[in-house]
Amino acid sequence: DAMVIQNPRYQVTQFGKPVTLSCSQTLNHNVMYWYQQKSSQAPKLLFHYYDKDFNNEADTPDNFQSRRPNTSFCFLDIRSPGLGDAAMYLCATSTEAGAYEQYFGPGTRLTVT
């Protein structure tokens, strides 16, 4: 009965080699988020979708892109990963705007070599 699924759970990529992380949800929620979480730090919001509307945080590097082809799926693309991009990437969902609870997936641990 997994609600927010992230694949893969662990990803190793080389410096500068594009990588894509995926998130899917069975909750039919309108809003999907991508967070970056580095060790011993709070999750940092990268961007979110409200339906198809994309909302980028002002301090999210251009190196990070996202796609949401349908309600259930959302992808995080890192075009040229650097060593500083090694982190846990968390996907979360919530219902209509104003419904606050965010449901987080288990995360993808990204290692950059």
The site for other proteins (CB under 8 A) is made up of: 4, 31, 40-43, 45, 48, 50, 55, 90, 92, 94, 97-98, 100-107, 109
Please state, in angstroms and rounded to a whole number, the distance separating the CA atoms of residues 70 and 73. Answer: 6
Would you say 40 or 70 has its CB closer to other proteins?
Answer: 40
Identity of the residue numbered 30: N
Would you say 27 or 79 has its CB closer to other proteins?
Answer: 27
**Of 111, 113, 107, residue with least CA distance to 8:** 107
Task: Report the nearest approach of other proteins to the CB of residue 71 (Å).
Answer: 16
SS3 content of the chain, % helix, strand, coil (to 5): 5, 50, 45
Task: Report the nearest approach of other proteins to the CB of residue 40 (Å).
Answer: 7
